[in-house]
A and B are shown apart, each in its own frame.
Chain A
Amino acid sequence: MATEPMGGKRTQLIPENFIDNEHDYESITDIIARVVLNPRPPLIWFIMTAGGFVGLNVMLMAVTWLILRGTGIWGNNQPTGWAWDIINFVWWIGIGHAGTLISAILLLMRQSWRNSINRFAEAMTIFAVMCAGLYPLLHTGRPWCDYWLFPYPNVLGMWPQTRSPLEWDVFAVSTYFTISVLFWFLGLVPDIATLRDRSRSTWAKVLYGAAALGWRGSAKHWFRYEQATNILAGISAPLVLSVHTIVSFDFAVGIVPGWHTTIFPPYFVAGAVFAGFAMVLTFGLPLRALYGLKDFITEKHLDWMAKITLATGLIVFYGYVLEMFYGWYSGNVYELSLVNHRIAGPYAPFYWALIFCNGIWPQALWSHKLRKNVPFLFVTSIVIGIGMWLERFVIIPMSLTRDFITSSWGYYSPTLWDWLLFLGTMGFFTFLLFMFIKVLPFINIFEMRDLLHKNHHTFGHTAHEHDAAHAEEAH
């Protein structure tokens, strides 16, 4: 049996070196730690942080007004009780999923190219889940009573309904957030120890020293660290799938036309990964240019992320095709009328914009050249972000405004406060992300050292083995 493919070209298991140019442990540490320890961040950092801070305040204002006045300030109505709150909840939580996919599933598959993007993708997960969680909590209308969602013994003798997908969401999202934070912090500790040992200012030494928990890089600790990482990755992989599957159950368990299809769980999960990778690109591309990290986030990384985006985009597009197919094949007049409503009703421009953003535009990623074209990738990532938002819009108000009887038909449009809250959460997200970049290394330093070590063994050899052997003989 020939193990080599035709043409005699060897196929390697680790075909690529994911660090460009010549680097050693010191230069990797130096370049990444400099982003944090440099006393003066670049001007764009100040602009983005200030912009995010304005957005954060807009969000706080929108939340305050909501609490004072109630959900009436939103465009929610009868029949559209689920409106922007749930659109934005699903959109934000989907954005978080690429982080977990990169940090857990790619880790389990031993994909070492994840090392340079996992840290800030995980940070994005946490911040996106914070934005997402805000919406259902506010949507209850009385956010100060939100603890009622948790099962606890109370004087009313009441328990939450654990047979409902909405209650499953409470468990899924809170577990997801907790595990994401633990996983992220566990990975940060060795890098915080690096910052502790490199920082010059007393304040930085004290704060990083406290956060590093006394990490000293003992081999016994590293062994346990890897055990813990593998366990957390092993539980995070099914967790992330369960979270978005449960989010899709919110819809799929209902009987509303357009929601009641079995394609929903995989279709939602693929959409989440699609949106998540788009967001990783949206922030990764500018950061890479801003901090001169092209050696670590290489063209290869962009290429592979674009390929994942393309693949998940195709799954999502398949979902759109199937939604049409179900409408026709079910022979159900309500489903069929929903299809007509989507393609020719008052919201038809949104539907066709969705098809363009998620179905047609990403097909350009088949091109090898465009996958490595940074400006094009950046535009594509934003187009996809918009497209995934439109997808949730298409699912929620379009179905709710056309259900079974004509008397319950309606129309939905968002108000100013809907917009302000949504834009505000974007500012909140940006603010958190840029603050994170300033205080913690946004590329995993020790995993990059590990990658370099593996590269040495795969692509070259160091003279050290010989030195050690000679020293032994000399003695």
Chain B
Amino acid sequence: MAGHGHGHDHGPVENPIFGMVAEFDSPDDLLAAVKRATAAGYSKTDAYAPFPIHGLAEALPNGTDDRLPWLAFFGGLTGCMLGFGLQYFINVIDYPMNVGGKPLNTWPQFLPVTFECTVLCTGLTTFISQWALNGLPRYHHPIFNAPNFDRATQDRFFLCIETKDPKYEPNETAAFLNGLGALNVAEVARQ
């Protein structure tokens, strides 16, 4: 295998098979299948569905994480400080203007802009980091080679066990997936 032309210059040659995919026709079947795959010890798995299914990511190994809310929080905090700091700098340091003897740091009047800056930075951070953490945008992904996969955005539900999984063994994994009540099970090519 290693001698074939497509390999990278260094490191091991990637397996030409990305994984084994099983197709289901209901969200409940998929959820049950994911739970059983996790229980059976499969760890490099992913599920694909045409809408968010409650509990599905939680049932996958490493399916969830809390980085996004934290990033959004710190994005918002940064926006808040920038917004207030900007106004403080303008009105107190760079362009102080005495209006009727009022204090230069009229902080209550700085709140609307501070609030808007907080919201803007939270929103931008959330939007950008959700794509970054998902690894999107991306031109192509091997899962798109799965048969019938165009229906993953319409009405079908897929479970994929990747070849990277230490427990992956073609015949055994196919038998396992067939045993979950899948409509069909197929190997997915990487290219």
- Where the two chains meet, the residues of A that have a C-beta atom closer than 8 Å to any C-beta of B are 24-26, 29, 151, 157-160, 162-163, 165, 167-168, 171-172, 175, 178-179, 182-183, 186, 190, 193-194, 196-198, 213-228, 231-232, 235-236, 238-239, 242, 246, 249, 446-447, 449-450, 453, 462, 464-465, 467-472, 475
Contact = CB atoms under 8 A, between A and B. Distances in A.
Nearest to A464: B26
A218 B21 CA distance: 13
Interface stretch (B4-12, B47-55, B164-172): B47-55
B179 interface: yes
B152 A162 contact: no
Contact of B46 (A29, A162, A220, A232): A220
A101 to B, nearest CB: 16
Given A172-B112, A182-B127, A464-B28, A224 B46 contact: no
Given A163-B91, A182-B124, A235-B123, A464 B25 contact: yes
A462 B26 contact: yes
B154 A29 contact: yes
17 contacts: A29-B155, A162-B109, A175-B119, A179-B119, A179-B123, A182-B127, A183-B123, A194-B154, A213-B131, A221-B136, A223-B52, A228-B130, A232-B123, A449-B155, A462-B26, A471-B179, A472-B180
A84 B15 CA distance: 67
Contacts of B180: 468, 471-472
Contacts of B68: 224, 227-228, 231
Contacts of A162: 86-87, 90-91, 109-110, 113
Given A216-B144, A221-B136, A227-B68, A172 B116 contact: yes
Main SS at interface, chain B: helix
B153 A224 contact: no
Interface in B26-71: 26-29, 32-34, 36, 46-53, 56-58, 60, 63-64, 68-69
Contact of B123 (A163, A168, A182, A225): A182
Interface residues of B, number: 70
Q: Chain A CB within 10 Å — which of B52, B86, B106, B117 has the most?
A: B52
Contacts, number: 206
Contacts of B119: 175, 179, 235, 238-239, 242
A-B pairs, top 8 by smallest CB distance, nearest first, are: A471-B181, A223-B57, A25-B155, A475-B179, A213-B137, A197-B150, A464-B26, A214-B138
A465 B32 CA distance: 8
A175 B120 contact: yes
Given A162-B87, A223-B63, A231-B122, A190 B110 contact: no
B151 A220 contact: no
B133 interface: yes
Given A219-B63, A242-B112, A472-B181, 12 more contacts: A26-B154, A151-B90, A159-B95, A163-B106, A165-B112, A171-B113, A218-B46, A218-B48, A223-B57, A447-B51, A471-B181, A472-B36
A449 B50 contact: yes
B126 interface: yes
Contacts of A194: 50, 153-154
A468 B63 contact: no
Contacts of A197: 150-154
B141 A468 contact: no
A236 to B, nearest CB: 8
A40 to B, nearest CB: 23
Nearest to B83: A171
B113 A214 contact: no
B67 to A, nearest CB: 9
Interface in B101-118: 106, 109-110, 112-113, 115-117
A171 B112 CA distance: 9
Contacts of A159: 90-91, 94-95
Contacts of B49: 217, 219, 222
Contact of A215 (B32, B33, B91, B136): B136
B9 to A, nearest CB: 26
Given A162-B91, A171-B117, A216-B48, A193 B153 contact: yes
B53 A163 contact: no
A470 B170 CA distance: 24
B50 A186 contact: no
Contacts of B179: 471-472, 475
Nearest to A27: B155
A469 B137 CA distance: 38
A217 B115 CA distance: 34
Q: Chain B CB within 10 Å — which of A29, A197, A223, A236 has the most?
A: A223
Contacts of B152: 197, 216-217
Contacts of A468: 28-29, 32-33, 180-181
Given A159-B90, A468-B180, A222 B136 contact: no
Interface in B130-146: 130-131, 133-134, 136-141, 143-144
